[in-house]
Structure 1
Amino acid sequence: MVCPVDLTIHLLWLTGGLVFLYFGAEWLVKGASEIALRLGISPLVVGLTVVAFGTSMPELLVCLKANSPEVVAAPAAWFGFAVDVGVASPDIAFGNIVGSNIFNIALILGVASLIRPIEVHSQLIRRELPILIVASLVFVAMMSDMVLMRWEGALLAAGVVTYVFMSVRMARGEKDIDQYEEFSEEEIEKAKQGGGRLLIDLMLIVVGIGALVVGADWLVDHGESVARVFGVPEVIISLTLFALGTSLPELATSVVAALKRQGDIITGNAIGSCIFNLLAVMGVTASVKPLQAEHIAWMDLWVMLGLAILIMPFMWSRKRINRVEGAILTAVALGYSVLVVVIDR
């Protein structure tokens, strides 16, 4: 019999974990972005690297906690928190990334374009989107045996290093970076202030990382407890609740950007985060410890890959995602969520 008190406590801890993940990512991105701008790195590079990686940090911490709990335990101790090492749950790691990429494209781009049609810059279509499709194809191919080995993880991690290096190198030749209005002139000038501001930014990074570590621990531990209470497989929790929860930074950024008519921020953030999820998060997680999927279905992988391919004609046509296309994407996200729950795992 389900104990209402125990369930309420687990749900409160779960909510606290989501809150910590959200604000941890926000503080990390803000601090790192301002430091990058102070060093003279362009908003283009910051948007494609620092912001994209920062909003993928919740996924990284959740995946490391799920697959290699001992890796998260040590940093948490630095902040005075004791993390229960527990038992590894690779399905949570896989489900978190596959689900996050599905939500990043279907839900985030869908909801944002329903608010206001999204204008898409041609560079995202020419470069970032093909990289996402190739990364998705490689990841699905690696998952043919439902195991992600260390060497495969290292290959994915090498891919994100190459991606960041090429982004920085190509950005040096960019003459017009205004299409990436990730930061206003006021924010850029603020970032270039003196040492006092630098100390604040460093504190934001440290506190942000600490919040991410603690939030990931709470989310995984109490998410597993809720799943056990209701008899729901962990993979379903990770494909839905965890995936949506760790996508909150991208969702919040996209909604605000849609209201401000900043389409490049929305598409760049969503596509860039998907790339980092596959290459950096899965790469680092598998490099630390191989992942063995037990309940991830081919349907999950095909939906993730199919959305990466589907978004290409949506963006290519008239260089925008209109409300009809946004409604289709949102419907896919909702339909997939229902399908995950009803399918017997």
Structure 2
Amino acid sequence: MLLPLSAIILGFAVVIWSADRFIAGAAGLARNLGISPMVIGLTIVGFGTSAPEMLIAGFSAFEGSPGMAIGNAIGSNITNIALILGVTALAAPLTVHSQTLRRELPLLILITVLVLALLLDGDLSLFDGILLMGSLFVVMGWIIYTAMAARDHGDPMEAEFEAEVPVLPMGKAIFWLLVGLALLLASSRLAVWGAVE
């Protein structure tokens, strides 16, 4: 019991740290390649912050624990919205001026409803997975297109992304990208092993 519990704690601790390093490396590399900070924020940083959940869900499914994978995905979504936004709003009122966010909120609701509809039969099939992945690529493509168009109209999110994307030398960005990815894979596997055991 002690060993699996230690694996869970250590796994999650390393997952959090390595995800941060992976995002910094990927975002820094993209910036060095001349990619817009807003596009980096909407894609690389967005996917990077979800990397722990994706890896843990993937390893859980391969370990024969699909319930853990689904619970992880839905639970992290609830936590991100209710807990993070709730705590932030308690600290200071939130005012959203960005058209980018106003366009994304209906998409969030739409995707959530789609997932609930697909889960009504108690099964996520291969077709369901293809449908969800296809929806992801369509939504991301649309978000990138509208974000790039919004740059010409002074979307306030552009300045936020500009400040958040790290400036790293190319070598250091690649180093943290690879180290972060390797540790993400190892720590996610460790956390899932501890949870399953």
TM-score exceeds 0.5: yes
1:40 is paired with a residue whose SS is: coil
Cα distance in 2 for residues equivalent to 1:179 and 1:171? 9
Unaligned segments of structure 1, at least 5 residues:
1-5, 69-86, 192-196, 226-345
Q: What is aligned with 1:217? A: 189
Alignment of 1:1-345 (within 5 A): 6-7=1-2, 9-68=3-62, 87-174=63-150, 175=152, 176-180=154-158, 181-184=160-163, 190-191=167-168, 197-225=169-197
Q: What is aligned with 1:339? A: none
Cα distance in 2 for residues equivalent to 1:122 and 1:178? 6
Q: Identify, as 1 or 2, the structure richer in helix.
A: 2
Residue 20 and residue 45 in structure 1: after superposition, are their counterparts in 2 closer, same or farther (change >3 A)? same
Q: Which amino acid aligns with 1:144?
A: L
Q: Which amino acid aligns with 2:15?
A: L
Q: Does the CA-based 8 Å contact 1:44-1:177 persist in structure 2? A: no
Cα distance in 1 for residues equivalent to 2:156 and 2:28? 18
1:147 is paired with a residue whose SS is: coil
- TM-score of the superposition, structure 1-length normalised? 0.53
Cα distance in 2 for residues equivalent to 1:177 and 1:37? 19
Cα distance in 2 for residues equivalent to 1:122 and 1:221? 41
Cα distance in 1 for residues equivalent to 2:34 and 2:186? 32
- How far apart are residue 122 of structure 1 and its match? 4.1
1:119 is paired with a residue whose SS is: coil
Q: What is aligned with 1:71? A: none
What is the Cα-based RMSD across aligned positions, in Å?
A: 1.8
- TM-score of the superposition, structure 2-length normalised? 0.90
- How far apart are residue 218 of structure 1 and its match? 1.4
- How far apart are residue 129 of structure 1 and its match? 0.5
Cα distance in 2 for residues equivalent to 1:160 and 1:134? 12
1:160 is paired with a residue whose SS is: helix
Question: Residue by residue, what CA displacement relative to the aligned partner does 1:33-65 show, whole Å, maximum 9, x if unpaired?
Answer: 112222222222222111111000001100110
Sequence identity percentage: 35
Cα distance in 1 for residues equivalent to 2:97 and 2:156? 11
2:28 is paired with a residue whose SS is: helix
Cα distance in 1 for residues equivalent to 2:181 and 2:38? 24
Question: Residue by residue, what CA displacement relative to the aligned partner does 1:214-267 show, whole Å, maximum 9, x if unpaired?
Answer: 111111111233xxxxxxxxxxxxxxxxxxxxxxxxxxxxxxxxxxxxxxxxxx
Q: Does the CA-based 8 Å contact 1:43-1:177 persist in structure 2? A: no
Residue 147 and residue 136 in structure 1: after superposition, are their counterparts in 2 closer, same or farther (change >3 A)? same
- How far apart are residue 167 of structure 1 and its match? 2.1
Larger radius of gyration, structure 1 or 2?
Answer: 1
Q: Does the CA-based 8 Å contact 1:65-1:220 persist in structure 2? A: yes
- How far apart are residue 125 of structure 1 and its match? 4.8
Higher relative contact order (CA 8 A, sep 6+): 2
